[in-house]
């Protein structure tokens, strides 16, 4: 049965093989802190899955040197403080990958990035849950024959809490980093779990999704709108009829707001003449005031056919349009009057004629001889 490349024993051996060669006379430690142990652990996971180290800076690669001393790492792998970066390549991908481990207080964050892919994956862990500071620092044993690495993997095992914690940490890196950077990785003994397949599907879906285009501002200015749709000074028409509905019932309009503008009647069109037109003039000041004929400018009785007050005379067009220049018109006896107004002695007043149409002194029609009495 193939060995799991992320088992505890394989990872610990990868860590022991990756530590740089310790030069003679150097008294410094090879692994001095817990966050260095986590960075070395992340590199061991990547190396176990077939990732090839190219250097520690994506802008300054050391591919030739790393290939020459592999599986050892160059001595400057931990030259920076509290942050460690590794650049990798893999034969199953054309991308380059960057793995960075940063310490933030009591936690460490491991981030992965596929260059030109711009997708960052990450996982955060609590250092004390996996690493025991009591086993640090570690220094490779040097004897007369050189380095003694025979027991180095066991020494590194003591750095971690337990083998199960080693496998848990390797599983976190596989699910959150490796499977998202390189889905469908083919490696003998390497299997994907349900979480791995879900991570791969998410990565595939993200890869098929087109990149978001930034919203560019319109280079042309918006045209001026002199008639805005919501103009507070131009309210909508009253009582609009809803589209597709019946019109609402009408309501009282005591102030005639909705009534159309009236067209003033001309004297020739009105069946009632100009009755009431002179009521707009104060008494005594109208041009033809019938109540105070001696007051005001232009007083006196109204001219024939020209009265416009509330007291029309018989020459008003209301009484058939007679008057004016008609010499047979008698304003005291309008046409169709039932009684003939009589004067003293039975003679019509002011020489008027009888309603029957007779014009002689003896009358005619219904009148008796010289009496003017009605039969």
Residue-wise pLDDT tens digits, 62-85: 999 999 999 999 999 988 888 999
| pLDDT band with cut points at 50, 70 and 90 for residue 121 | very high
336 burial (CB, 10 Å; 0-12 / 13-18 / 19+) is exposed
Q: Using an 8 Å Cβ cutoff, are 238 and 272 in contact?
A: no
Share above pLDDT 90 across residues of the chain, in percent, rounded to a whole number: 32
Quick one: DSSP state of residue 219? S
Q: How remote is the C-alpha of 268 from its chain's centroid? A: 64
Q: In this predicted model, which residue has the larger pLDDT, 14 or 352?
A: 14
Beta bridge pairs of residue 121: 112
Average pLDDT, integer, range 128-132: 93
Q: Which of 158-162, 164-168, 258-262 has the lowest mean pLDDT?
A: 258-262
Q: Is residue 39 predicted with pLDDT exceeding 80?
A: yes
- Report the C-alpha gap between 48 and 271 in whole angstroms: 115
- Beta strand pairing status for 120-126 and 83-89? unpaired
On average, the pLDDT of the chain sits at: 74
Number of H helices, E strands in the chain: 7, 7
From 11, 347, 1, 5, select the one nearest 191 (Cα to Cα): 5
Q: Determine if the pTM surpasses 0.75.
A: no
Q: How remote is the C-alpha of 279 from its chain's centroid? A: 63
Beta bridge pairs of residue 104: 107
Residue 349, helix vs strand vs coil = helix
What confidence tens digit (pLDDT) does each residue in 226-279 have?
Answer: 555 566 666 666 665 555 556 556 667 777 666 665 555 444 445 555 666 666
What token pair was written down for 306?
């020209």
Long-range (24+ apart) CB contacts under 8 A made by 183-190 are: 185/49, 185/50, 185/92, 186/92, 187/5, 187/49, 187/50, 188/2, 188/5, 189/2, 189/3, 189/4, 189/5, 190/4, 190/5, 190/6, 190/49
């Amino acid at each position: 049965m193939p060995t799991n490349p992320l088992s505890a024993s394989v990872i610990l051996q990868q860590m022991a093989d990756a530590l740089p060669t310790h030069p003679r006379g150097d008294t410094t430690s090879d692994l001095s802190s817990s966050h260095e142990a986590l960075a070395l652990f992340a590199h061991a996971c990547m190396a176990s899955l077939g990732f090839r180290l190219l250097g520690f800076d994506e802008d300054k690669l050391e591919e030739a040197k790393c290939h020459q001393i592999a599986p050892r790492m160059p001595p400057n792998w931990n030259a920076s403080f509290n942050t460690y970066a590794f650049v990798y390549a893999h034969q199953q991908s054309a991308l380059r990958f960057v793995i960075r481990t940063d310490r933030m207080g009591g936690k460490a964050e491991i981030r992965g990035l596929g260059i030109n892919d711009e997708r960052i994956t990450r996982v955060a862990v609590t250092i004390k849950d996996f690493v025991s500071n009591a086993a640090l620092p570690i220094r490779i044993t040097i004897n007369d024959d050189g380095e003694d690495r025979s027991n180095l993997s066991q020494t590194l095992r003591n750095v971690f809490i337990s083998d199960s914690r080693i496998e848990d940490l390797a599983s976190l890196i596989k699910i959150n980093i490796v499977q998202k950077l390189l889905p469908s990785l083919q490696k003998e003994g390497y299997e994907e779990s349900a979480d791995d397949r879900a991570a791969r599907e998410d990565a595939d879906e993200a890869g098929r999704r087109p990149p978001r285009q930034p919203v560019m501002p319109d280079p042309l200015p918006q045209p001026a709108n002199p008639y805005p749709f919501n103009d507070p000074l131009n309210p909508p028409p009253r009582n609009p009829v809803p589209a597709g509905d019946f019109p609402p019932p009408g309501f009282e309009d005591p102030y005639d707001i909705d009534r159309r503008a009236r067209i003033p009647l001309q004297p020739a069109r009105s069946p009632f003449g100009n009755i009431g037109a002179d009521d707009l003039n104060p008494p005594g000041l109208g041009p033809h005031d019938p109540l105070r004929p001696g007051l005001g400018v232009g007083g006196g009785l109204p001219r024939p056919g020209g009265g416009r007050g509330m007291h029309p005379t018989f020459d008003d067009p209301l009484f058939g349009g007679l008057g004016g220049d008609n010499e047979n018109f008698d304003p005291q006896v309008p046409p169709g009057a039932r009684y003939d107004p009589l004067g003293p002695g039975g003679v019509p007043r002011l020489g008027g004629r009888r309603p029957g149409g007779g014009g002689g002194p003896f009358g005619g029609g219904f009148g008796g001889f010289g009496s003017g009495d009605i039969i």
